Copies of this chain bind each other. A is one copy, B any other.
Amino acid sequence: MTLQERVWQRRNRLRNRFSSLAASEPRESPAPDVAPRRKATLADVAERAGVSTSTASRALNGHGGLAPATRAAVQDAAAKLNFQPSALARSLRTQQTFTVGFVVPDVSSPFYAAALKGAQGRLEQAGYRVMLMDASLNVDRELAALETLLSHQVDGLLVASTGMPRALFDGAVGAAATPTIFFDGVVEGTGEGAVTLDNEGGITLLVDHLVEHGHERIAVLAGSQRESAGAARLRAFHTAMAAHGISPVDRYVKVCDWEIADGRRAGMELLADPKPATAVLASSAELALGFMSAAATRGIRVPDDVALVAFDDPYFGDLLEPPLTAVAYDAREIGATAAELLVEAMRSETIAVEVTVPVTLVRRRSCGCQPEASR
């Protein structure tokens, strides 16, 4: 692909960033109220208001008692100069950045994007900014991300781990003692809290439903086992099967990564089996999509030839063919909840807490259910 480029005519944005006519000599120019060329500092405001910087600071931050008149004068000056305090300087002094680090395996995944959105909203509300790092599904980069964040002195950390060992995490974050809440991908035994989906409950719902439909030869497309969610789901699968007295066939359990392509590949293998499973449980929407794609190319019909259910209800779930039976939950909520816990942890020393977000079963046609009367 080639890009088309076109050079614009050069615009004349004034950028005399280095012009030295700061506020040292308050020139009597005709338009003193216009936004200053160099960014105004607290000193500029103070000078203009005819007070000291400390007074100016207090006036702006509403601290200590001070004459209403001076306060007004300062505020006025600040407004006129369009003063924006430097977050950098303030943070350096106060040792608080009001910034939290957000680390995920892959921002472009709908799940993490939604979680990010949820968290962002809550954090902004509480006055925090988000610094985002994408670990690219890679432990080393996750570690690097944490270090970067720490060097920026974030006040807190929201992390969905790619599967980092505890020792590594504590080594990096331990010394800084930065409050951390995990979500989805948890590092066991550390952090001030964690919020996860009800993986066990969801998988149980799915397995039970498949069994209700009469299936016993159930295959599973398990996601990456390095991530806590993937491991939890596979574990839950075995438990749920055992509860029905069914022992899963080894050939039917496919551990793979989370991408559509992985699901497709695993699906092809499953379908090539001489005695294939009659139902498939996909650990994520992507894996289900991959399986559907595999089934389509093999000419296998879902649900007639093989039933399919998934953990994750994509927003286009009922526009697929067939509409996908899935476990649904609110991805935004998981982020929002994690953010809430973090805010609390940053404010006070709270005890650690673990919360799990509930899930529900959405019955559609891919499992063999009949469509309901109407929508």
A binding-site residues for B, Cβ under 8 Å? 1-11, 13-15, 17, 35-37, 39, 82, 84-89, 91-92, 97, 99, 102, 106-110, 113-114, 116-117, 120-121, 124, 129-134, 136, 147-148, 150-153, 171, 174-177, 189-190, 193, 198, 260, 289, 292-293, 296-297, 314-316, 318-321, 330, 332-333, 337, 351-358, 374-375
A120 touches B107 (CB 8 A): yes
21 inter-chain pairs at a CB distance below 8 angstroms, sorted by A residue, are A4-B355, A6-B353, A8-B351, A9-B352, A10-B352, A11-B352, A17-B177, A87-B151, A88-B97, A88-B152, A89-B92, A107-B116, A108-B116, A108-B332, A121-B134, A129-B133, A129-B148, A131-B131, A131-B132, A289-B316, A320-B320
Chain B residues, CB < 8 A from A36 = 175
Knowing A5-B353, A174-B35 touch, does A88 contact B91 (C-beta < 8 A)? yes
Question: Which interface residue of A132, A260, A374 has the most chain B CB atoms within 10 A?
Answer: A132
The one of B4, B8, B152 in contact with A129, judged by C-beta atoms closer than 8 angstroms, is B152
Copies in the complex: 2
Q: How far is the CB of A120 from chain B (nearest CB, A)?
A: 5
A9 to B189, CA, bound (A): 10
Measured CB to CB, the closest approach of chain B to A352, in angstroms, equals 4
Q: Which residue of B lies closest to A375 (CB)?
A: B297
With the chains together, A323 CA to B233 CA distance in Å? Answer: 31
- Cross-chain contact A131 with B134 (CB below 8 angstroms): no
Q: Is the pair B85, A333 in contact by a Cβ cutoff of 8 Å?
A: no
Knowing A1-B333, A153-B86, A177-B17 are in contact, say whether A352-B8 is a contact too (CB < 8 A): yes
3 shortest interchain CB distances as A-B pairs: A321-B321, A15-B177, A8-B352
Shortest CB-to-CB span from A131 to chain B, Å, is 5
Chain B residues closer than 8 Å to A176, beta-carbon distance:
39
Given known pairs A1-B333, A110-B113, A152-B129, the reply for A354 and B6 (CB within 8 Å) is yes
Cβ-defined contact, A356 with B4, below 8 A: yes
In the bound complex, do residue B3 and residue A355 qualify as a contact, i.e. CB atoms below 8 Å apart? yes
| Contact assessment for A358 and B3 in the assembled complex, using a CB-CB cutoff below 8 Å | yes
Within the complex, what minimum Cβ distance (angstroms) separates A220 from chain B?
20
With A and B bound together, what is the CA distance between A354 and B5 in angstroms?
6
Residues from chain B with a CB closer than 8 A to the CB of A108 are 110, 113-114, 116-117, 332
Nearest chain B CB to A364's CB is how many angstroms away?
12
In the bound complex, how far is the Cα of B297 from the Cα of A318, in angstroms? 12
Instruction: Determine whether the beta carbon of B333 is less than 8 Å from that of A82.
Output: no
CA distance A5 to B193 in the complex (A): 10
Q: Separation in Å of the A295 CB from the closest CB of chain B?
A: 10
The one of B133, B152, B260, B337 that contacts A87, using a Cβ cutoff of 8 Å? B152
Contact yes or no, A84 B351, CB < 8 A? no
Contact A296 B375 (CB under 8 A): yes
Rounded to whole angstroms, the CA-CA distance of A174 and B289 in the bound complex is 47
Determine how close the nearest CB of chain B comes to the CB of A331; give it in whole angstroms: 8
Quick one: closest B residue to A360, CB to CB? B1
**Cα–Cα distance between A119 and B152 once the two chains are bound (Å):** 20
A153 CB contact (under 8 Å) in B1, B88, B351: B88
